[in-house]
Amino acid sequence: MNAKDAGKNGARVVTAFPIMLLGAVFAAGIAVLAVSLYAVQVRDTAEFRNDQSLQSLRRVQIPGVRGRILDRNGKVLARSRPGVCVACYVDELRRPGPASNTVDAVMSAAASLYSAIGRTGGVRRARVERHLRNTSPMPLVLAESLTDAEQARFAEHAQDFPGMDFMVRDERAYPCGKMAAHVLGYTGRDRPDDPSGAKANYYLPEIRGREGVEKFYDAYLSGVAGEHLIQVDSRGCLRKAWVGRPARPGPDLSLTLDAKLQAAVEKALEGRTGAGVAIDPRNGDVLALASSPAFDPNAFARGIAPDEYAALRDDPGRPLMDRAIAGMYAPGSTFKPVTALAALSSGAVAPGWECDCKGVFRLGAFRLNCWNRWGHGPVDMAGAIAQSCNTYFCEAGRMAGTNAVISAARAFGLGGATGIDLPGEKGGTVPDAAWKMRHLHEPWYPGDLCQMSIGQGFLQTTPLQMAVACAAIANGGAVYRPRLSAPGAGSPRPLWRLPFKAADVARVRAAMRTVAESGTGKRIAVRRHEDGTETRLAVACAGKTGTAEIGRGDRKRKNTWVIAFAPYDRPTVAVALVVENGESGGLTNAPLVHDILAAAFGEVETRRRGAAGGASGAEAAD
C-alpha span between 519 and 542 (Å, rounded): 10
Dihedrals phi, psi of 168, to nearest 5 degrees: -110, 125
CA-nearest of 463, 464, 461 to 428 is 461
Give the pLDDT of residue 90: 85
User: Of all residues in the chain, what percent carry a pLDDT higher than 90?
Assistant: 58
C-alpha span between 210 and 300 (Å, rounded): 10
The alpha helices in 370-428, defined as continuous H runs, are 381-387, 390-400, 402-411
- 3 state SS of 189: strand
Distances (CA, A) of 240 to 57, 94, 205: 9, 18, 21
Averaged pLDDT for residues 83-106 = 88
The string of DSSP letters for 94-123 reads --SSSHHHHHHHHHHHHHHHHHHHT--S--
The string of DSSP letters for 306-354 reads HHHHHHHHH-TT-TTS-HHHH--B--GGGGHHHHHHHHHHHTSS-TT--
Rg of the chain over Cα atoms, rounded to whole angstroms, equals 37
193, with CB counted inside 10 A (0-12, 13-18, 19+), is: middle
- 3 state SS of 162: coil
Q: How many CA atoms lie within 13 A of 312 on its CB side?
A: 15
- 3 state SS of 167: strand
C-alpha span between 400 and 397 (Å, rounded): 5
Distances (CA, A) of 56 to 68, 94, 202, 231: 38, 20, 13, 5
Give the number of other Cβ atoms within 10 Å of residue 175's Cβ.
12
- 3 state SS of 232: strand
Dihedrals phi, psi of 166, to nearest 5 degrees: -65, 145
Q: Has residue 50 got a pLDDT over 60?
A: no
The alpha helices in 39-92, defined as continuous H runs, are 45-56
C-alpha span between 394 and 414 (Å, rounded): 20
Protein fold of 328-476+498-620:
Beta-lactamase (3.40.710)
Q: Has residue 469 got a pLDDT over 90?
A: yes
Dihedrals phi, psi of 448, to nearest 5 degrees: -65, -40
Adjacent-strand bridge partners of 458: none
CA-nearest of 80, 538, 491, 472 to 256 is 491
Dihedrals phi, psi of 328, to nearest 5 degrees: -105, 115
Give the number of other Cβ atoms within 10 Å of residue 605's Cβ.
11
Give the pLDDT of residue 612: 44
Give the pLDDT of residue 611: 47
C-alpha span between 169 and 84 (Å, rounded): 7
Give the number of other Cβ atoms within 10 Å of residue 437's Cβ.
12
CA-nearest of 489, 410, 463 to 578 is 463
> What angle do helix axes 390-400 and 336-346 make, rounded to 10 degrees?
40
Give the pLDDT of residue 8: 52
C-alpha span between 382 and 386 (Å, rounded): 6
Give the pLDDT of residue 525: 95
Distance separating the N- and C-terminal Cα atoms of the chain: 146
Dihedrals phi, psi of 240, to nearest 5 degrees: -160, 150
Give the pLDDT of residue 120: 79
The CATH number of 58-254, from 3.90.1310.10, 3.40.50.970, 3.90.1150.10, 3.30.460.20, is 3.90.1310.10
Give the pLDDT of residue 487: 81
pLDDT digits (tens, 9 = 90+) for 141-175: 888 888 889 899 989 888 888 888 888 888 999 99
Fill in the amino acid letter for 424: G
Adjacent-strand bridge partners of 573: 566
C-alpha span between 424 and 185 (Å, rounded): 11
CA-nearest of 190, 210, 208, 193 to 247 is 193
pLDDT digits (tens, 9 = 90+) for 349-374: 999 999 999 989 998 888 889 988 89
Q: What angle do CA 362, 368, 370 make, to 5 degrees?
A: 110
CA-nearest of 436, 491, 133, 458 to 283 is 491
Q: Has residue 489 got a pLDDT over 80?
A: no
Give the pLDDT of residue 616: 45
pLDDT digits (tens, 9 = 90+) for 226-271: 776 656 555 555 555 556 678 889 999 999 999 999 999 999 999 9
202-203 and 226-232 strand pairing: unpaired
72 compared with 44, residue with greater pLDDT: 72
Give the pLDDT of residue 48: 42
Distances (CA, A) of 92 to 86, 101, 109, 155, 552: 15, 13, 12, 19, 66
The answer to whether the Cα torsion of 235, 237, 242, 243 is positive or negative is positive
Please say whether the beta carbons of 589 and 565 come within 8 A.
no
DSSP 589: I
C-alpha span between 332 and 323 (Å, rounded): 17
C-alpha span between 342 and 466 (Å, rounded): 16
CA-nearest of 68, 144, 136, 138 to 113 is 144
Cis peptide preceding 482, ω within 30 of 0: no
Please say whether the beta carbons of 393 and 384 come within 8 A.
yes
pLDDT digits (tens, 9 = 90+) for 198-233: 566 677 788 999 999 999 999 999 988 877 665 655
Band (pLDDT 50/70/90 cuts) for residue 328 is very high
Fill in the amino acid letter for 327: G
Domain ranges of the chain: 58-254, 328-476+498-620
Give the pLDDT of residue 159: 87
**Cα dihedral value 74, 77, 82, 85, nearest 10:** 180
C-alpha span between 87 and 110 (Å, rounded): 10
CA-nearest of 514, 574, 519, 578 to 546 is 578
